[in-house]
Amino acid sequence: MSLPIKIEPIEIKIILNTNIPKGNDYETSILTLGTLSSPDVKVGGIKPTQYPYFTFQIKYNESTLNKMEYNDIVKTFFNKDDLIDNISAENSDIIEKKEPADINQMEEYCNKRTEHINHNIMIMLKYLYQPVFL
Q: Which of 128, 124, 134, 127 is nearest to 35 (CA)?
A: 128
Q: What one-letter code names the amino acid at 46?
A: I
pLDDT digit string (tens) for 1-33? 455 578 889 999 999 888 888 888 888 888 888
Mean pLDDT of 95-102: 75
Say which range, 58-67, 74-83, 98-107, 115-124, has the weakest mean pLDDT: 98-107
Q: Read off the pLDDT of residues 32-78 as tens digits, 9 standing for 90 and up.
A: 888 886 666 777 778 888 899 999 998 898 888 889 988 899 999 99
105 C-beta neighbours (distance < 10 Å), count? 11
